[in-house]
Amino acid sequence: MTIPKLPLGEAIEAAIDFLTENFSFITKAVSNVVENANEVLVENLEKIPPMVLILLIALLAWRLAGRRIALFSVAGLALIWNLGLWGATMATISLVIAATLVAISLGIPIGIASALFPLVNRIVLPILDLMQTMPAFVYLIPAIPFFGLGPVSAVFSTVIFAMPPAIRLTDLGIRQVPKELIEAADAFGSSRLQKLLKVQLPLARPTIMAGVNQTIMLSLSMVVIAAMIGAGGLGSEVWKAIQRFKPGMGFEAGLAVVIIAIIFDRITQKITHQGKTH
Amino acid sequence: MKKIEVEKLGKVFGKPSRQVLSLLDQGWDRERLMKEKGFALGLWDVSFSVEEGEILVVMGLSGSGKSTLIRCLNRLIEPTAGSILIDGTDVRGLNEAQLREFRQTRFGMVFQRFALFPHRTVIQNVAYGLEIHGESKDTCRKKAEDALALVGLKGWEDNYPDQLSGGMQQRVGLARALAIDPGILLMDEAFSALDPLIRKEMQEELLQLQSRVGKTIVFITHDLDEALKLGDKIIILKDGRLVQQGTPEEILTNPADDYVEKFVEDVDMSKVLTASSIMKKAYSITWPKDGPKTALREMEEVGISSIFVVDRKRLLLGIVNADDASELIRKGISDLKEILKEPSRVTPDTSLTELFALESFPAAVVDESGVLKGAIVRGNIIAGLNRER
């Protein structure tokens, strides 16, 4: 006796079809807004002369993370410029910024709700497990019918891929606030909101910032993968190199990704640790 | 009026039925309730009251229910049974908003491990309660500064808690509680985490502070010396039930059962007993009204060989002895000033150990302003020790 295959895949396809047919006006609207915002961001980033932008980023790195990172930024970005990858890099950075902003502005509130309300926590946890273990490529497929090929689909799948750490670490940070401090806040008659704003969030800040750092790193890696659905940027340089079998070109684009990753990471990590000492 | 009145207070963790609670009234103890019904007993049938300005010390071993008791007063732990009246208001009848208002204005709480907010400066910590209550920035700043001055931490406003020593951190904790000017201070083992010397110092300061600000204080401790030093009244808990309440002396001299006795037997009597508890009536004459003849007659009447001399306000001036007085009469002088000598002076809370070391007797017991309160002769000290042993 053979057990027939459960029509799980078919059901999901039907659901996606249903959603695209009936709700595509929403996704199209979102798509337009995000696309326009992203275009404006890319255009403006590209309008700034590379020299000026390099110095601006170096200055930012110097103020936030110290001299060594500032020097590294100048050298790294100059190399990217020299390799002729400046435009692609700007496209990637703007995608990362867009995806990160969406991911943390959804993720932090969800994390707070999950820490404060057990019911939310019970719903959110299994979804997060699913989001984190599902192979990243799978998110690319439904993005296309909803948002079409291009940067918006890339942002969408990147947000899904990069949001879990923001939620998890926000939740964790709030739970880790010592019980006696919560008790002290209660003993002085704090309301829930006062307790959240004056005690829980400030004390959870370093952990939340670590989550933001993770989200940025994951966004960067996903934005590269999303080149497969036409995200553009450094990912598409890598993608082209694979298709034409040009290991040198692929390596150059890969190196550019690494340089950006290091700059992002060090700057956000420094902000995280500043939070630990007041 | 009574500041705090607690009547038959009970706390059983979980959701016990009426029937389970009635077992407690039949005298079930904590162990049996846990074993047979699976409920954890926090407190049962605890009644006491505290007068305005009094320090009540709640004492017991760990697990005796003291922490539960203090948290029931401001409902950080929700009581299961009984009533709690604060200034005549039933705390258990308050709704959520009223309870918050109550906590913001009536209770200042001080915690064992300080529970200061590490991300806030000292002054921001102290102002926390005021901020929560919605005071303006200026009021917060001003009241917090006053509270800090009260605990002797002026000048530390902008430091963070982790830059302060344990003793100083607890002063901040105390200032945070005092800043909202509450009627009641709830102090949960407030000095237990401090090392012994600092702890003694804080006890002294709390008493001094108390004499200035006159708060009603509920103080939890597992340390009998601390309880005796601070408490106007002491209640002793064991396994969630009240085993004895009374003044420190009552508890020392008349422990209710073995449990209390265990606490008491470690106490060094000579440290606990003070001049005020063993002093006798001081015989005195008044200068300049009385002369040597009155002095001699008084001494003869009560059978002593020297007598204290005070002024009209009972301020101690000195002591005269019988030999000098008769000498003065022989010379025909009536002013006692010539033969006044300086006696040993002690305060009412001088300990027995220190009294032993005195060189001349009788010693005069005088209060801070120098008013004569009583006298101590060598015999009192020995008798005092024997009485208590």
Domain span at residue B239 reads 51-269
Q: Are B309 and B320 in contact (CB under 8 A)?
A: yes
The number of distinct structural domains making up chain B is 2
Q: Chain B within 8 Å of A198 (Cβ-Cβ)?
A: yes
Residues B198, B287, single domain; the answer is: no
Q: What is the pTM of this model?
A: 0.75
Q: Which two tokens stand for residue A122?
A: 């019970």
**Is B110 an interface residue toward A (CB < 8 Å)?**
no
Neighboring chain B residues of A177 at a CB cutoff of 8 Å: none
Chosen domain end from B213, B234, B269 = B269
* Residue that is last in its domain, among B269, B286, B313: B269
Interface contact flag, A188 B101, Cβ < 8 Å? no
Whether B19 maps to a domain, the answer reads no
Give the Cβ contact number of residue B150 at 10 Å. 18
Residues B128 and B215 in one domain: yes
ipTM of the complex: 0.79
pLDDT of residue B367: 87
Could B115 and A198 be called an inter-chain contact, meaning their C-beta atoms sit closer than 8 Å? no
DSSP string, A146-199: HH-SSHHHHHHHHHHHHHHHHHHHHHHHHHTS-HHHHHHHHHTT--HHHHIIII
Three-state SS at B28: coil
Residue from A176, A188, A194 to probe the interface with B (highest B Cβ count within 10 Å): A188
Domain membership of residue B6 (yes or no) is no
Report the helix count and the strand count for chain A, using DSSP H and E: 12, 0
Is residue B32 in a domain? no
Query: What is the nearest CA distance from B1 to chain A, expressed in angstroms?
Result: 25
Residue A48 sits in a domain whose CATH number is 1.10.3720.10
Number of domains in chain A: 1
Same domain, B356 and B247: no
**Omega prior to B362 cis, within 30 of 0:** yes
Host H or E run for residue B43: strand B40-51
Distance between B140 CA and the closest CA of chain A, angstroms: 14
Tokens of B306: 């020297």
User: Are B265 and B362 members of one domain?
Assistant: no
Do residues B193 and A180 touch, judged by C-beta distance below 8 A?
Answer: no
Contact criterion met (CB < 8 Å) for B111 and A202: no
- Helices H, strands E: what count in chain B? 18, 16
Domain of A101, in residue numbers? 21-276
| A197: nearest CA partner in chain B | B132
The pLDDT tens digits of the residues spanning B192-219 come to 988 888 888 899 999 999 988 889 999 9
Query: What CATH number corresponds to the domain at position B339?
Result: 3.10.580.10
How far CA B230 is from CA of A52, B207, B223, B262, B272, in Å, comes to 70, 7, 11, 20, 12
Q: Could you tell me the two tokens for B335?
A: 């002013």
Tell me if A3 is assigned to some domain.
no
CA-to-CA dists, residue A122 to A118, A125, A132, A164, angstroms: 6, 6, 16, 15
What is the number of other CB atoms lying within 10 angstroms of the CB of residue B121?
A: 18
Of A184, A191, A203, the CB nearest to B111: A184
Is B339 a domain residue?
Answer: yes
Residues B259 and B332 both lie in one domain: no
Report which of B76, B116, B67 is spatially closest to residue B99, judged by C-alpha positions: B76
CA of A187, closest CA in chain B: separation in Å? 6
Residues B96 and B228 in one domain: yes
A9-18, A40-49, B39-48, range with greatest mean pLDDT? B39-48
Write down the pLDDT at residue B386. Answer: 62
**Subunit contact B100:A189, Cβ cutoff 8 A:** yes
Same-domain status, B163 and B206: yes
Query: Does B238 reside within a domain?
Result: yes
C-alpha B26/C-alpha B44 separation (Å) is 11
pLDDT tens digits, one per residue of B119-176: 999 999 999 999 999 999 999 999 999 999 999 999 999 999 999 999 999 999 999 9
In a domain, B42, yes or no: no
The last residue of a domain, from among B269, B303, B331: B269
Q: For A184-224, what is each residue's pLDDT tens digit?
A: 999 999 999 999 999 999 999 999 999 999 999 999 999 88
Cβ contacts from A onto B, under 8 A: 57
Residue B205 tokens, joined: 């300061």
